[in-house]
Every structure is written in structure tokens, then in C-alpha cells.
Amino acid sequence: MYPLTPDMLTSLLKTPLFSQLRHEDVAQILERARPVKIAADAYFFRQAAPARRLYILLDGQIKVTQLTPDGQQVVMRMINPLELFGCVAVLSGGEYPASAQATKDCQAICLDTDEIHRLMHIFPHLAINAFQMMVQRTHELQDRYRELATECVERRLAHTLLRLMKQNSHTEGDLIVLDTPLARQDLAEMIGSTLYTVSRILSQWESQNLIVTGREKISLVTPKQLKRIAEAQIFSADLKKAPI
């Protein structure tokens, strides 16, 4: 078992997978977990590999990418500490539909497929929670598909930044800092656009004081304006005429 601290165990109790499970139940489940350490840029697993393990990230960050049949890489989501990954593939069987690459040094714990299935028989809430998580991931993918099919690049980018803000961010003065280091190429792959287009929009938003950018760092100045862009209530060209 990975030597979890009391604070880490308390945090894990709040994750969706362990919802409504008792402290001693979660401790018993985690006794069967194994530690995994991955260096930055290495892979936990690659697309099309047999799905044999479910992971919980303890420290670091992971980029989940999928390679399309024509060779284009798409960033599906970013995984932050205390999030699960690999769960849909493990629970549905077969192969991992995407690759999980560390963007920085990572520590995680993993549970083998057979162990997860056995534990679900012992703790029914574990199975219920896992099913609910799979449904949520499906809804997220449906939202992403709808955005790609129906929305302009500007709206898709605004949606993505707001989604990242909800997932993992903190405040510094008047700024909301995204705790997800992102290159502009990553953002382009997330929204199905080009590096040039994303760079142009980000530069425009920075000049309009909507965001502040740095090296793989983005801070939001006026999330309400980004929400208005995401909801097609306003576009960047109209910001000078709109009240902040």
C-alpha cells in the first residue's frame, strides 16, 4: 500500500469514487492499491494498450490525449490531483481509448482490474459511484462534441478556460489563476483549432484585459465576460461597447 498521510486519506474520502463510503472502507480499499511514480513526459499508459489498471493521481498533472485515424492529436482532458483516470476503459473492458502522459513528475496509486471488480462486490457504493462517474464523463464528451460541431473557435476557447477554472484554480488578488500549466498548442488541441488562431484570440483577450498570460500560465481577469462570450451574448469585437 502507498503510505498515505491522514490528510491525503481525508481528501480521498471526498472524491466521487469513495462517496458515501466509510473511512474504514476506503482504508481497506486502498490497502490493495499500489504506488506508481512517473517522470514528466512519460506515460502511465498509451492509447490502444490493454486496460488493466485504474489510477488515482496524488501529485502532479496528466494530459489525456487521443490520436485520430488521420494522425491528429486531440487533448481530451487534464487530470489534476485526487482525480481518477483510466476508469472508463477498465470498467468497460478492452483497451485504453487514449494516452495518459505526465506533464510533470507524478505520483499515483493504482488498482488492478480484477481487484476493482472484486471490491465492487464487497462495497456496492463503489460500483454505483463508478457508474455515476462514467455517466458524467459521457456528458462531458457530449458537451465537447456539441461545442466542436456548433460553436465558433472563440466560444470553444472561452468554454475551455471556464471549465479549467472550475476544475482547478486559485485566486491571487483580483486574478483567478488556472492551476493547469497549458501551452497554447495544448489549448489548440483541446478545442480542435490551430496554434495561430488560439494565439491570436488569447492576445486579443489580453489586450482587452480579460486574461493575463505567461509561460504555460493563464489567469482570468473577468470570467463574467468570458462567460458572455461562451454563451454567445457578446464577442470580442463588441467588448469596447459593453459594460464590464
Write down the domain spans for the chain. 6-148, 151-241
Residue 2 has, within 13 A of its CA and on its CB side, a CA count of 23
Largest CA-CA distance found in the chain, in angstroms, rounded: 60
Element (H, E) at 56: strand 53-59
**Rounded distance between C-alpha atoms, residue 158 and residue 177, angstroms:** 15
What's the whole-model pTM score? 0.77
Closest residue by Cα to residue 55 from 101, 20, 21, 10: 101
pLDDT of residue 243: 40
Element (H, E) at 76: strand 73-79
Q: What is the CATH number of domain 6-148?
A: 2.60.120.10
pLDDT of residue 244: 37
pLDDT of residue 216: 80
pLDDT of residue 20: 87
Closest residue by Cα to residue 81 from 61, 105, 104: 61
pLDDT of residue 69: 84
C-alpha cell recorded at residue 112: 488492478
| Alpha carbon distances (Å) from 145 to 54, 107, 181 | 25, 31, 24
Element (H, E) at 45: strand 43-45
Closest residue by Cα to residue 157 from 65, 79, 220, 91: 220
| Alpha carbon distances (Å) from 28 to 14, 18, 43, 54, 122 | 16, 12, 28, 16, 11
pLDDT per residue as tens digits for the range 47-87: 999 999 999 999 999 999 998 888 888 888 889 888 889 88
- Residues with pLDDT less than 50, the chain: 241-244
- 151-241 architecture in CATH? Orthogonal Bundle (1.10)
Which residues are 211's β-sheet partners? Answer: 220
Gyration radius from the chain CA atoms: 19
**Rounded distance between C-alpha atoms, residue 43 and residue 46, angstroms:** 7
